Amino acid sequence: MKNKLIITLAPTGNVPTREMTPFAATTNETIIRDLKECEALGVSIAHLHVRDDQEKPVSDRNRFKLLSELMDKEGINLIKQFSTGARGGGMNDPEYRGQMLDLKPLMASLSTGSSNFPDSINGNSPEVIRELALKMKKYNIKPEIEVFDYSMISSAVHLLKKGILEGPLHFNFVMNVPGSIKGTPKNLMILADAIPEGSTFNVCGIGKAQIQMLTLSILLGGHVRTGLEDVIKLDDKLVSNADLIKRVVSIAKVYGREIATVEEAKEILSLRK
């Protein structure tokens, strides 16, 4: 069971808009539609962002609450993972960025260092990281440590030693964001080798790195994330969240990785009961 593949769907993100792709899932209605479809295809974790009415990324607690309640109402059983990322606004304000954590999702994202996006700073100061981590600990939320560069693993290990994070750690290697670590097989191997014994890891490959990075993670025993947050085209054509999941499932099948159910994913990641 430990060897099963956990698939995370990141349907929305901060960047895609309806102008960029007709498949964009930036409203509750479209997010719910895609979560439902992708749950049936084998997804077990929903990495969630919310937008305001102008499609601008926000960290608004009420919007997370509404989306979360809609998921429950629609019978969507996926593990909820709320984003606390810098692009949801209030970069240096841990209160703002973690305002939705008291809703107690099973998981939340936690970046353990700073880097650059093409047009903005992915700013995560030591204070912001510590405050968000402590809030996750308080509510028994498992952080997914977002690794945009090698040093973010060292920061996470430091927080583990200080007891601010608790093991086993779960990492997500965010490969190929322009300005962060490039999505190459060698880089992925180096990251996978650098995490503490007993940790789990997930990989997302931005844009053109998508297929190679996810395939390599499947081969290495890691887990995978896909969705329009990470890539909007396959084979040079705009695709939907479901199209991306179907591709990942087909790759996993080729390499003999069975897909984890939601219950199995909870077990593999040691999430709270």
For residue 26, state whether it binds Mg ion (rule: CB under 5 A).
no
**Minimum gap (Å) between residue 8 Cβ and Mg ion:** 10
Which segment (75-83, 126-134, 198-206, 207-215) binds Mg ion by CB under 5 A?
75-83
Asked if residue 83 binds Mg ion (CB under 5 A), the reply is yes
Smallest distance from the beta carbon of 59 to Mg ion, in angstroms?
A: 11
Pick 83 or 200: Cβ nearer Mg ion:
83
- The nearer residue to Mg ion, 83 or 226, going by C-beta atoms, is 83
Span near Mg ion by CB under 5 A; candidates 25-33, 77-85, 160-168, 259-267: 77-85
Query: In the range 168-187, which residues lie near Mg ion by CB under 5 A?
Result: none
111 forms part of the interface with Mg ion (CB under 5 A): no
Comparing CB distances to Mg ion, the nearer of 83 and 155 is 83
Scanning 51-59, 83-91, 182-190, 191-199 for contacts with Mg ion by CB under 5 A, the matching segment is 83-91
Taking the CA of residue 17 as centre, how many other CA atoms within 13 Å lie in the half-sphere pointing to its CB? 7
Contacting range for Mg ion; rule: CB under 5 A; set: 54-62, 82-90, 118-126, 249-257: 82-90
Half-sphere exposure in the Cβ direction for 127 (13 Å, CA): 5
Residue 273 CB, nearest distance to Mg ion (Å)? 26
Token look-up 């560069």 returns 149
Q: Which is nearer to Mg ion, 83 or 112 (CB)?
A: 83
Alpha helices for the chain (secondary structure H): 28-41, 61-73, 94-97, 126-138, 151-161, 185-194, 210-220, 241-254, 262-268
Nearer to Mg ion by Cβ, of 45 and 216: the residue is 45
Contacts from 162-169 at CB under 8 Å and sequence distance 24+? 164/130, 164/133, 164/134, 164/137, 165/133, 165/137, 166/137, 167/196, 167/198, 167/199, 168/196, 168/198, 168/199, 168/200, 168/270, 169/143, 169/145, 169/195, 169/196, 169/199, 169/200
CB-nearest residue to Mg ion:
83
For Mg ion, which is the closer residue by CB, 25 or 257? 25
- Which residue, 83 or 124, has its beta carbon nearer to Mg ion? 83
Is the separation of the CB atoms in 70 and 50 below 8 Å?
A: no
Number of residues interacting with Mg ion: please give it, by CB under 5 A.
1
Q: Please count the other Cβ atoms lying within 10 Å of the Cβ belonging to residue 163.
A: 8
Q: Which residues pair with 224 in a beta bridge?
A: 7, 203
With H, G, I as helix, E, B as strand and everything else as coil, classify residue 185: helix
Q: Which residues bind Mg ion (CB under 5 A)?
A: 83
